[in-house]
Amino acid sequence: MLTLLGVAVVVVGFAARFNPLLVVVAAALVTGISAGLSPIAVLSALGKAFNENRYVSVAMLVLPVIGVVERAGLQERARTLIARFRGVSVGPLLIGYMAFRQLTAAVGLISIAGQAQTVRPLLAPMAETAAELRAGELSDADRQAIRAQAAATDNIGVFFGEDIFLAIGSILLMVGFLAASGIVLDPLQLSVWAIPTAIAAFLIHGTRLLLFDRRLRRGPPEAGE
């Protein structure tokens, strides 16, 4: 039972808002020492696991790369690009992105876009510019609302699109859980039944985006309304 002390370290560390990396390393040390390993053996196990799975840390390079290209004017270029298409408004722009996100997630391309690499540097600035072309100068509240809608659109698109892909973790987890309970299903069956849910999510959120777009065009309510 002493090996469960590592879980307590994680809970306390996160609750106290310590650095997540330090919390995880401390939890690993506590768990290893509680299991009878020496500190050197625990560090050796951590180093071996990191070396064998070092390709996972490649994703960490995305953030500094995005930061560099943003500093070089990526958001400004995105605004300039969308300004050329004066007929585009926030609703259709985000709906088109959601369709792209769902379709690519449905074939397993989960990491082709995302909050850090697409929404912040590209989609949100383009949506803000599209709104400014239609409604003029935006208030800070409207600007934040557009960013929130852009982030939500990405989440909804990938969340309901990825379950259509056969080899996604959630599908395999459900297949394994059902098989352990004596219910044998093919992954294709679950993927097919995920399609109506994805379509419903697209229609519901698409409607919300159109209503949001209409509100932006009308502008803030007049005094007394």
Q: Return the closest-CA partner of residue 106 out of 170, 164, 166.
A: 164
What pLDDT is attached to residue 70? Answer: 67
How far is CA 110 from its chain centroid? 9
Q: For residue 37, what pLDDT is reported?
A: 83
Torsion sign across C-alpha atoms 99, 104, 106, 109 = negative
Residue 127 CA neighbour count, 13 Å, CB half? 30
Instruction: Kindly list the domain boundaries of the chain, sorted by start residue.
Output: 2-52, 89-218
Quote the tokens at residue 164.
Answer: 């259509």
User: Residue 177 is encoded by which pair of tokens?
Assistant: 């859980």
CA 119 to chain centre: 9
- pLDDT for 117: 83
d(C-alpha 49, C-alpha 54), whole Å: 8
Q: pTM of the full predicted structure?
A: 0.67
Q: Is 139 exposed, middle or buried (0-12, 13-18, 19+ CB in 10 A)?
A: exposed
Element (H, E) at 8: helix 5-15
Residuewise pLDDT in 10s, the chain (225 residues): 666 788 888 888 888 888 887 888 888 888 888 888 888 888 887 777 766 655 555 556 666 666 776 676 777 888 887 878 777 889 999 999 999 999 999 988 888 888 888 898 889 999 999 888 887 788 899 999 999 999 999 999 999 998 888 777 777 777 887 888 888 888 788 888 889 999 999 999 999 999 999 988 876 544 444
Distance CA 154, CA 62 (A): 17
Q: What's the Cα-to-Cα distance from 13 to each of 2, 3, 197, rounded to whole Å?
A: 18, 17, 38
CB 215 within 8 A of CB 91: no
What pLDDT score does 212 carry? 93
